[in-house]
């Protein structure tokens, strides 16, 4: 699997630090199961974090602590990404398996448009974000939209294209509220994505804004 689109560095750093909300954590962990490069990057960040804690335990935080942290982060991982095999359960990468007990085949899709389906996955009640599966029919376009907050979209199967390029299985789109786009699913296969979001989408068309409650997004 060749992965072309990865999380933003700050998203990976928050993941390594354990500060991401649950839905985002699940999406990043699932991407890591599919992406050796990001697994290596997270291992590097965890090493850096550990080394800093060790050093600072000996000496009080010095004025140059931030500089040293930043220069350590600039360095490349010393080892090649660890080649961990993708563990799958019922055809689903293992971090996602607890949320999809019967695999992708058993999802109870709710129809949200002519060629759009949504399934809400259960996250802890105190979560600030939602975890949803989105299925866009082969060849169908999503309405053009921006984002009210931070949105992570991981492609599980199929592919879509938008102004940022082609997103296929394993690719992750990491969008903040300043990004507008209109994904169009490729012909031949439905596109199934795992999405974490903390605010409703910002649809461009007035009609879509009126219909928004029906979309569940």
Q: Tell me whether residue 43 or residue 107 sits nearer to Zn ion (CB atom).
A: 43
Q: Tell me whether residue 16 or residue 38 sits nearer to Zn ion (CB atom).
A: 38
Q: Tell me whether residue 35 or residue 155 sits nearer to Zn ion (CB atom).
A: 35
Angle formed by the axes of helices 36-58 and 22-34, to 10°?
Answer: 120
Which one-letter DSSP state was computed for residue 181? B
Q: Cβ 122 to Zn ion, closest distance in Å?
A: 26
DSSP annotation string for 48-110: HHHHHHHHHHHSPPPTTHHHHHHHHHHSPPSSPPP-PPPPEETTEEGGGGGG-TT-GGG---E
Q: Tell me whether residue 6 or residue 150 sits nearer to Zn ion (CB atom).
A: 6
Q: Cβ 66 to Zn ion, closest distance in Å?
A: 26
Q: Cβ 36 to Zn ion, closest distance in Å?
A: 8
Strands 159-162 and 165-168: antiparallel
Q: Cβ 187 to Zn ion, closest distance in Å?
A: 26
DSSP annotation string for 120-141: EEP--TT-SSEEEEEEE-TT-B
Contact 88, 94 (CB under 8 A): yes
Q: Cβ 78 to Zn ion, closest distance in Å?
A: 19
Q: Tell me whether residue 96 or residue 201 sits nearer to Zn ion (CB atom).
A: 96
Rounded Cα distance, 81 and 176, in Å: 27
Backbone angles phi, psi at 44, to 5 degrees: -65, -45
Q: Which residues form the interface with Zn ion (CB under 5 A)? A: 6, 35, 38
Contact 196, 27 (CB under 8 A): yes
Q: Cβ 172 to Zn ion, closest distance in Å?
A: 6
Q: Tell me whether residue 32 or residue 217 sits nearer to Zn ion (CB atom).
A: 32
């Amino acid at each position: 699997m060749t992965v072309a689109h990865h999380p933003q560095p700050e998203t990976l750093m928050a993941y390594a630090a354990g500060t991401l909300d649950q839905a985002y954590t699940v999406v990043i962990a699932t991407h890591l199961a599919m992406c050796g490069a990001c697994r290596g990057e997270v291992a590097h960040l965890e090493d850096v974090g550990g080394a800093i804690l060790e050093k600072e335990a000996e000496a009080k935080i010095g004025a140059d602590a931030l500089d040293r942290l930043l220069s350590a982060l600039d360095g490349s991982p010393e080892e090649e990404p660890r080649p961990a095999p993708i563990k799958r359960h019922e055809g689903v990468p293992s971090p996602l398996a607890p949320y999809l007990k019967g695999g992708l085949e058993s999802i109870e899709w709710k129809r949200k448009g002519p060629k759009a389906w949504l399934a809400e996955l259960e996250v802890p009640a105190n979560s600030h974000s939602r975890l949803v599966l989105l299925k866009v029919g082969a060849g169908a376009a999503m309405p053009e939209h921006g984002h009210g907050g931070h949105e992570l979209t991981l492609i599980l199967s199929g592919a879509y294209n938008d102004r940022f390029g082609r997103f296929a299985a394993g690719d992750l789109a990491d969008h903040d509220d300043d990004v507008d786009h209109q994904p169009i699913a490729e012909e031949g296969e439905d596109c199934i994505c795992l999405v974490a979001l903390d605010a409703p989408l910002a649809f461009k068309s007035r009609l879509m804004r009126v219909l928004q409650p029906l979309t569940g997004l």
